[in-house]
Amino acid sequence: MNRRQLMRMAVLAGMSGGLAACGIDNDGGVVIDGPGPSGGSGVGGGLPVVPKLRRDAVSAAQLIQYFLAAPAGIEDEKAMLARVRAFLAPAAKDWSPRNNSINVVRAVAGELKPDSSSNKWSQQITILPIGVLLPGGMLAPPTRPGSRKITLRVSAAVDESVGGFYIITDEAGDEEPLDEILLSEAALGQFYQPRSLYYWNTENTALVPDLRYISRAYDDARRRDAMVKLLVEDGPAPWVAPAVLRFPQNSTKIGNVVQKEGNLIVNLSSGTTAIRDTNKVGSQLRWTLHRELASGALDVALQIESEPRATVRDYLSDNRAWRSPNAPDRGLFAIVESQLVSLDSHQVSSLMSVLTPKESKETDPKLLIESAAITADGQTVAAVRRDAEGQRYLVIGSESDPKADPLQYSLTAGASVSRPVWLGGESVLLVVGGELMQFSRAGGKQGAGESVSGQPNGKRITSVAVAPDGRRLALLVNGRVYMVAIQGMKKPIELASEGRYLPLELPLESPSHVTAVAFGAEDRLILGWTGDLGRPYIGECNVFGGDFRMILEEVGPSGIRVLSLSASPISPTDPLSLVAVYSTVKGSFRITPNEQLSFKGQLPQVAPSGSPSASTSATPKAPIVSSPFFTS
């Protein structure tokens, strides 16, 4: 089955809801025998929604749908297992999974087929594990990676007194037996909502997001309490932890988060401020709760041991993903006929001059630019260039010091080279010959880059993207997307050992075909890949590989690939609206929320270096636009 057929098949969805239950009745229904939600309405002001029960299914297909949503929202393992078992035939009442973990899977359903008996059906499902949903909403890497097929068999209940349908587990098929608790990715999205906790990086200079899944069954008050407790007491997820500072071990949340007089009042123990001041703690809380404040609360008021300490207002810039609504758009550039061109002004960039040694009286005719990256302030450029003999260099120059000669690093002869990306404003990351290298802005003219520590051994890296926070990377490793945090910023940087490959087989057909990656938001990636029949595609997913959606299908003819991707990351406080650019051998293109625009015909006629200008050429040719990118 090819990728197009898979994408057009129905993805199994679970019904929405989640709950915190202390008991389950014979049909998996909720029995509250302890403290439940703290009162109030559920998400959106309505009653909390819960997963559908076995008896709610009116067809075999619906039963399978509900079955793949059964474990959602139940925090007690015994209650969760009882709810899952309630969907099984009475003969399977003692069914036991290999463990009690909730395995989130992308599920693509085949045709529901009736068996020889009129009251039995079977459905083959291709599943791809996305991760293991842990307490606290963490999504750990899957324990059984890789897609596989299962068959779920359904029988109408023989006993009319109980009615409905059951999942049959005692009729073996050709596929693996059902031995795990499964939650469909669609059900994850309906029963849980993504929320980021925010931790200060190890230098205490900026916040780093930690994506979690919070039950939609929680009302507003309980959700806020849960998020603050996770932030302060439970700490960051393992893959993010090496890059951030957690609260001291004796830190606790005191009482509930309450809304009063336009504030959310958060009361913490004295230990929470042992390693940072109250303003930084307040900023963490304000960003962690920023989606909760739309209901009317304007600020976060921090208390320490019930003593008022700070009302948090000046916090936005602590998250580097945030951009002021009044900020100018990021500059957009590309390489046109081996020169750096602004796609905003349609002019050769003035930064070309800082890439040229000062003893040269004019632009070096041998200065052939292949790709580049520009800092957020637009003043410093790092460019990969080649000379007439084909030798490549990384050149760094800045308009902030126009009299200085550019720095020049010689790159390994004949090695493949990625597009450079800035890590902060002080160093550049570049893949050279399959190895991730770091180049300092303060290095020597003929210096060499340093190999980044902790990169996957024996693997070929082809591209790197830096998250807006500057502490997480997305690498393309042997054509697969590898997410990893930076655990040490001392040059060369050191990558954490808790990196994870993203599970993308089902939407992408094969994980080995990803050719470009960029951050479209602080927790979302944009991907370019080659699909079936060799055609290029563009899609996006979150940093776990979940919540995948197609952006552009068949962006070019067969046989070409997406060579580069760059995006203007969405600010966490703005509505989601993707703006990105990509290139293929057929040209460079821009993606906006409503259309895809080719740059062809919008650029000046830029003559190749060393040739007559386009204006004097008898037959000027259309410029070749490549490697478009936004400023950092």
337 pLDDT tier (thresholds 50, 70, 90): confident
Separation CA 478–CA 499 (nearest Å): 15
Nearest Cα to 399, choosing from 377, 418, 421, 424? Answer: 377
CATH number of 332-630: 2.120.10.30
CA distance 35 to 358: 74
Q: Is the pLDDT of residue 129 over 70?
A: yes
pLDDT in tens, 433-471: 999 999 998 864 456 789 999 998 878 999 999 999 999
Provide the pLDDT confidence category of residue 361 given band limits of 50, 70 and 90: very low
Q: Which residue would you say has higher pLDDT here, 30 or 618?
A: 618
Distance CA 70, CA 18 (A): 9
Among candidate residues 583, 214, 522, 557, the one with its CA nearest the CA of residue 370: 583
Q: What is the pLDDT of residue 511?
A: 57
Q: 18: pLDDT confidence band, cut at 50, 70 and 90?
A: very low
Q: What ranges do the domains of the chain cover? A: 3-191, 193-318, 332-630
Q: What is the pLDDT of residues 467-514, one digit of tens each?
A: 999 999 999 999 899 999 999 888 899 999 989 999 988 776 665 589
Label residue 15 by pLDDT band (50, 70, 90). very low
| pLDDT range class, residue 295, cuts 50, 70, 90 | low
Residue range 188-210, pLDDT digits in tens: 999 999 999 999 999 999 999 99
- The per-residue DSSP string of 155-166 comes to EE-S-TTT-SEE
What percent of the chain is helix, strand and coil (3-state, nearest 5)?
Answer: 15, 35, 50
**Do the beta carbons of residue 16 and residue 46 sit within 8 Å?**
no
Q: Does residue 282 surpass a pLDDT of 70? A: yes
Tokens matching residue 187 = 């059900």
Residue 225's region, left for phi above 0, alpha for psi from -120 to 50, else beta, is alpha
254 to each of 20, 151, 195, 219, 307, how far by Cα in Å?
21, 48, 22, 19, 12
pLDDT above 60 (res 344): yes
> Amino acid identity of 46?
G
How does pLDDT run across 245-263, given as a tens digit for each residue?
999 988 999 999 998 888 8
Q: Mean of the pLDDT values across residues 164-187?
A: 79
Q: What was the pLDDT predicted at 3?
A: 31
* Structure confidence at residue 586 (pLDDT): 76
Q: Shortest CA distance to 393 belongs to which of 378, 407, 403?
A: 407
Place of tokens 């599920």: 107
Q: Are 284 and 266 in contact (CB under 8 A)?
A: no
pLDDT mean across residues, the chain: 82
Give residue 359's pLDDT band: very low, low, confident or very high (50, 70, 90).
low
Q: Is the pLDDT of residue 575 over 70?
A: no
Q: Amino acid identity, residue 108?
A: V
How much is the pTM?
Answer: 0.87
Does residue 40 carry a pLDDT above 70? no
Q: pLDDT value at position 556?
A: 63
- The overall longest dimension of the chain from CA atoms, in Å, is 94
The encoded tokens of residue 248 equal: 């001291």
List the beta strands (DSSP E) in 349-426: 368-374, 380-386, 392-398, 407-410, 421-423
616 has a pLDDT exceeding 50: no
